Amino acid sequence: MNSAFERSRSRRVLLLLGLMFYLVPVASQAQEASIIGQVTDDTGAVLPGVTVTATSPALQVPQVIAVSDERGEYRLTQLPLGTYAVEYVLAGFQTLQRPGLRVTAGFTAKVDVVMKVSALSETVTVSGTAPVVDVASTSARTQLTRETLDLIPTSRAGLQSMMVLAPGVRTNLDVGQPTANPLFRAFGQNGDSWQQLDGVVTTSPKGGNQSGNWFDSSVFEEASITSVGNPAEAPSRGIQVAIVIKSGGNDFHGSGSLIQSGKRMQSDNLDDKLRAQGITSGSPVAVRWDRSAELGGRIVPNKLWFYVQARARRDDNFSLGGFNPDGTPSIARQIQRFATVKLSQQVSPSTRVVGFYQHLGQTGNQAATQFAAWESRQVTYVPVHTGKVEWQMARGNKFMSFQYGFWNWYYRRNGASDNVATSDQLTGIITGMNVVAATRQHEGRKGVKGVVNWYKPGLLWGNHDFKVGFDYTPGAHADRSTVDRGAAGNYILIFRNGAPFQVDAKSNPTDPSSPVNYFGTYLQDSWTIARRLSLNLGVRYAHDNGFLPEQCRVASRAPLDVVFPAQCYPFIQFNIWKPVSPRMHFAYDVTGDGKTLIKGGWGMYVHQRGIDELQMGNALADSVATYTWHDLNSNKKFDVGEVNFDPNGPDFVARRVEVGQALSGAVPNPNEKEPMTDEFSASFERELIPNFAVRATGIYSREHNTYRVQNNKRPYDVYNIPVTARDPGPIREQR
């Protein structure tokens, strides 16, 4: 069956109101923070020439210094997250100290101070809490500090445990399963998420859930989750997750943990009604433990820092109704082993190099279930590799950063039997080799990105923070290859209540390639007017190129070589998208004290090409062809001659891509347009008391060019039989 991609213009309107109470500030995507403010005397006159010095254990240099300008304004930028002491010095005035200023990743803290004239050399220490409302950010974000992640009761399972804390975000239920694939859904819209682990993009190149995003949450220093108002540096509209990994310091620090649980610490919901139905147990935990150790410190003081961590998790669960061949209850086993290394080198007072690497080795052994036999379980191994090298330079009002990063993972599925796989559509009974055994899922990204910041005060009625950046990802991939299934055969026998019905012919062996090359660049200006109005204006351009390279396959083992012969396939070019996406947002400080803000704006966001969209047109994609089965000798085993495997013959039923059960044989639509979304947002933020604020957000969004798939062999004009439904009339209340 041939099909074509076609986009129909559709509109979907969402108007949602989220109300958020939060104890931590809202942050931007950047990992560094800023402290800004104005210095005046006790008459309200501005004070230029004040030396402002920030010190912190988080700094790899002794201190960061700024001098207030002719408007009395100062700006300390590119500060690593941490707690700072800020000192203000000017001859003829009391020296002022402000300790305990906690700043989080990407947060801009507004700290205005008043200095008094003094003929004596004296120092005044001012106590106070850090701001919790970001006066510069125009996005609606939830910031999770290390303390928050430690104190709030979650499963510590990674991204799911964090996203459940973000208002407006809906992910799958956090039940502590270490290998669950997180769903990214916010304000009624799914997909187009963008995850970064210490600046490395870990977003799956395919749509749907985000496989491979299994990270060690115990190494997270902070995380920010954005659901509304993404600026031009963000490539998509969906949930943006930015995670910062812990770093070393001049002082050595370390910790360890041991968490243990089991069946005795688990409750159930069994009652007399369930017991009367013969249900005597749920799915109890067999073994669950979590062990970790970490150490950070200095190799060379103020020059070279290190952080290392190791963690292991085990999660074994009894399978309800599943039994081993010896009659004992069956147990599903899962083990994760993490290792993380991070190095930070201060090459010079203005130059810094950061590198990190995290490895996950995950093994699993499925259990038998009420319907799947012990021999039909999967035995899996999943390695995940994530790392980067980043160069940073800060000079005056300019900052530059360039990074090479990579993220890739492999899912090796093996079987536990050489018997032919069977599946009964009515009873659900499964026997033989696991259906998806002998497959190798592989996904990943690697690429470079860079950004240049230039802060220019006193230009066009205000201060400007210009940002120019790019990100380039060549060959992003998310394909699934297969190997021959050996004695089990490359097919599955389908029964209906024990009666032979169909045969699913698998395309093994195959090794498809469906890459996407993506390049994005943006220009952004954060324009502050009169210290109360901030405009975030930006535009983004993307070159999104999905294609199928020329590729070949070997023939499947006979008799399936009729369905999947040795063949080479030509290069196929899908439409190259070149969208331009403007974004315009604002933040207005209503009271002028940084405690009450109105934020809002509009942005256009473009869907990125997904690998799964290309796979429908890739003849080498792991696929299944279904045929009618004639069990001529009634032995309930497949014998040669019982199926006509001609794709154009009478026994052919359908063909689909195995991943996502999508259609196969698709062809690109030359008139295809990229999906886009217009998003309008407005929010109100108010700091009520120190360390406590409230935010209300409203969203209106409209989608264009939404995807759908057209069957070219069944055009609209063949549907000529009217379908009518009788109006049942008014519903009468039953008495």
Give CA–CA dist 407/477, Å, rounded.
Answer: 11
Give the per-residue pLDDT at 207.
Answer: 74
Q: Domain map of the chain by residue range?
A: 27-125, 253-717
Count other Cβ atoms within 10 Å, centred on residue 125: 12
User: Which residue matches tokens 């003849």?
Assistant: 619
Residues of the chain with pLDDT under 70: 1-31, 119-130, 153-157, 174-180, 208-209, 659-663, 731-735
Give CA–CA dist 360/311, Å, rounded.
Answer: 9
CATH architecture of 27-125: Sandwich (2.60)
DSSP 8-state class, residue 556 = P
User: Which residue matches tokens 């408007």?
Assistant: 71
- The DSSP result for 210-227, as a single string, is -TT----GGGEEEEEEEE
CATH architecture of 253-717: Beta Barrel (2.40)
Give CA–CA dist 90/96, Å, rounded.
Answer: 9
Give the per-residue pLDDT at 718.
Answer: 79
**Is-contact 179 362, C-beta < 8 A?**
yes
Give CA–CA dist 361/455, Å, rounded.
Answer: 44
Residues 6+ apart with CB under 8 A from 328: none
Give CA–CA dist 53/51, Å, rounded.
Answer: 6
Give CA–CA dist 720/83, Å, rounded.
Answer: 71
Give CA–CA dist 54/196, Å, rounded.
Answer: 28
pLDDT tens digits, residue range 696-709? 988 999 999 988 78
3-state SS track over 16-43: EEEEEEECCCCCCCCCCEEEEEEEEECC
Give the per-residue pLDDT at 50.
Answer: 92
Give CA–CA dist 209/180, Å, rounded.
Answer: 10
Give the per-residue pLDDT at 169.
Answer: 82
Give the per-residue pLDDT at 3.
Answer: 40
